[in-house]
Amino acid sequence: MASMLSLASASPSASLSIHDTLKGKVRLGSGNVTSWSPKEKSRPFMNTKSSGRISMAVAVNVSRFEGITMAPPDPILGVSEAFKADTDEKKLNLGVGAYRTEELQPYVLNVVKKAENLMLERGEYKEYLPIEGLAAFNKVTAELLFGADNPVIKQQKIATVQGLSGTGSLRLAAALIERYFPGAKVLISSPTWGNHKNIFNDARVPWSEYRYYDPKTVGLDFEGMIADIKAAPEGSFILLHGCAHNPTGIDPTPEQWEKIADVIQEKNHIPFFDVAYQGFASGSLDADAASVRLFAARGMELLVAQSYSKNLGLYAERIGAINVICSSADAAARVKSQLKKLARPMYSNPPVHGARIVANVVGDPSLFNEWKAEMEMMAGRIKGVRQKLFDSLSAKDKSGKDWSFILKQIGMFSFTGLNKAQSENMTNKWHVYMTKDGRISLAGLNLAKCEYLADAIVDSYHNVS
């Protein structure tokens, strides 16, 4: 060939320094290495005389990050991206768990707007919070969860630290487990919220699963759950959903909660609650906190992660908390000090805006009552949609299949019992976007779309194996 392009990797004589390679200051041609001036950077290919041949210069940029592979898309958040790209007018997004109005629009609670107006009127500053967060927030959030008159609060046995919503609070607790309970295992329900496993993997905390969902009944595998908790190594952390289990919407009964507490006490396990839907599931703050309060009343040490994304609609404010109930006030003080130590290099201190909203709403009797009414409204809308979906399925499905399991579930999610292939048919044929495990978010459904969704479910269930 009359012209040649020599690459550094193919030329034994081209010994390049890493500095020169990354700076793009190397010219390769006919096996000779020549540097060029900065003025030549705009002319990456140049003719030069070299033994009668034409040499071409090329900038070589080798990334230090070549070994990093592309991460897979998030299975839940990826659903929304696919939904946005779909142009069909019948499309439904039942993937992400965020409340929508009957017009399927995002909703900002009126009580939140009032709380924000109060903040503006007071001219509150934006200085850094302490590592543990806003004191007023920590106080009301513990009282909301356990009840203001609970002995664990009066005896100061709770270490409460404001976290970055539920995810950040869980992650902080996972770091505490990894550092102070080395080798301890966390038991997670099968199935569970998609991010639980990521959190413990990232914190290098070992985990295994306990049986929870029974596909035959589309209900709770209570016997399997109890057996697996009994079989776990003594002193394991048992991750429990306080209410409105995600993704199934299936909760234990009060009697079953008592038996779960019995087994955990017998095995000297540590209960670890994830409470993301207090007040949003049933419409009652007290009813949705009953499971956590049951364990606390037994004098058990436990961890509880909280989130205000759903019940106050503060999704993007990232507002939550980690609570650790200890056997004494002294132990709680020491635990809190270590949670702060763990938080400091992670994110230094939490955001103030959402914390002030919660403190204003929960701490003001008038706003608090208004909030409870709005929660009842939101929970009521989802209950109404759940009932209408059941009625539509029962009317359209002539096979005699019992769809009543949908009414036994609670919260914004419903496990339809559809498998992966059937869920894909929902999307590909019916433009219904959902996770591949058959979970749908009823918060993204309205009464007008219930019959269309029922048609899609019936078709997918009976015509796709």
Residue 123 domain flag: no
User: 162 and 274 share a domain?
Assistant: yes
Q: Can 286 be counted among the known catalytic residues?
A: no
User: 193 and 309 share a domain?
Assistant: yes
Q: Are 427 and 434 in contact (CB under 8 A)?
A: yes
DSSP at 215? T
Q: Greater confidence, 194 or 355?
A: 355
- Per-residue pLDDT band for 172 (boundaries 50, 70, 90) equals very high
Q: What is the predicted pLDDT for the residue at 72?
A: 85
Residue 115 domain flag: no
Cα dist from 402 to 67, 244, 291, 330, 391, whole Å: 52, 22, 29, 54, 11
User: 218 and 137 share a domain?
Assistant: yes
- Per-residue pLDDT band for 96 (boundaries 50, 70, 90) equals confident
Phi-psi region of 411 (alpha: psi -120 to 50; beta: other; left: phi over 0): left
Q: Which of 323, 341, 363 is the last residue of a domain?
A: 363
Taking only the tens place, the pLDDT of each residue in 364-423 is 999 999 999 999 999 999 999 999 999 999 999 999 899 999 999 999 999 999 999 999
Q: Are 53 and 28 in contact (CB under 8 A)?
A: no
* pLDDT averaged over every residue in the chain: 88
Residue 67 domain flag: no
Q: Which of 318, 347, 363 is the last residue of a domain?
A: 363
Q: Are 413 and 247 in contact (CB under 8 A)?
A: yes
Cα dist from 349 to 254, 308, 362, 429, whole Å: 37, 18, 22, 47
Taking only the tens place, the pLDDT of each residue in 102-129 is 999 999 999 999 999 999 999 988 999 9
Taking only the tens place, the pLDDT of each residue in 200-251 is 999 999 999 999 999 999 999 999 999 999 999 999 999 999 999 999 999 9
Helices 165-180 and 194-202: crossing angle in degrees, nearest 10, is 40
- Hey, is 383 helix, strand or coil? helix
User: 377 and 445 share a domain?
Assistant: yes
User: 275 and 310 share a domain?
Assistant: yes
User: 373 and 322 share a domain?
Assistant: no
Of the residues 114, 310, 336, 388, only one is catalytic, namely 310
Taking only the tens place, the pLDDT of each residue in 414-454 is 999 999 999 999 999 999 999 888 999 999 999 999 999 99
Q: What is the predicted pLDDT for the residue at 328?
A: 97
The residues near 53 (Cβ < 8 Å, ≥ 6 apart) are: 2, 3, 4, 30
User: 385 and 325 share a domain?
Assistant: no
The tokens of 245 are what? 């289990």
Taking only the tens place, the pLDDT of each residue in 281-318 is 999 999 999 999 999 999 999 999 999 999 999 999 99
The residues near 454 (Cβ < 8 Å, ≥ 6 apart) are: 389, 392, 393, 395, 396, 397
Q: What is the predicted pLDDT for the residue at 325?
A: 98
Q: Pairing mode, if any, of strands 92-93 and 53-55? A: unpaired
Of the residues 114, 157, 185, 193, only one is catalytic, namely 193
Number of domains in the chain: 2
CA distance 312 to 314: 5
The vertex-379 CA angle with 376 and 382, nearest 5°, equals 145
Q: For the domain that residue 358 is a member of, what is the CATH number? A: 3.40.640.10
Phi-psi region of 218 (alpha: psi -120 to 50; beta: other; left: phi over 0): left
Q: Is the pLDDT of residue 13 over 50?
A: no
Q: For the domain that residue 416 is a member of, what is the CATH number? A: 3.90.1150.10
User: 160 and 241 share a domain?
Assistant: yes
* Integer-rounded Cα radius of gyration of the chain: 28
The residues near 261 (Cβ < 8 Å, ≥ 6 apart) are: 271, 294, 295, 298, 300
Residue 1 domain flag: no
The vertex-142 CA angle with 141 and 145, nearest 5°, equals 85
Q: Which of 332, 363, 394 is the last residue of a domain?
A: 363
Residue 65 domain flag: no
Residue 414 domain flag: yes
Residue span of the structural domain in which 356 resides: 128-363
User: 276 and 403 share a domain?
Assistant: no
The tokens of 125 are what? 């500053």
Q: Can 310 be counted among the known catalytic residues?
A: yes
Q: What is the predicted pLDDT for the residue at 20?
A: 45
The residues near 253 (Cβ < 8 Å, ≥ 6 apart) are: none
CA atoms within 13 A on the CB side of 199: 22
Report pTM. Answer: 0.83
Q: What is the predicted pLDDT for the residue at 127?
A: 94
Of the residues 221, 228, 251, 274, only one is catalytic, namely 274
User: 317 and 334 share a domain?
Assistant: yes
CA distance 31 to 432: 59
CA distance 385 to 102: 9
Q: What is the predicted pLDDT for the residue at 250?
A: 95
- Per-residue pLDDT band for 59 (boundaries 50, 70, 90) equals low
The tokens of 88 are what? 């069909």
User: 320 and 413 share a domain?
Assistant: no
Residue 148 domain flag: yes
Residue 53 domain flag: no
Mean pLDDT in residue range 243-265: 96
Q: Is the pLDDT of residue 27 over 60?
A: no
User: 347 and 386 share a domain?
Assistant: no
Torsion of CA 141, 147, 148, 152, to 10 degrees: -90
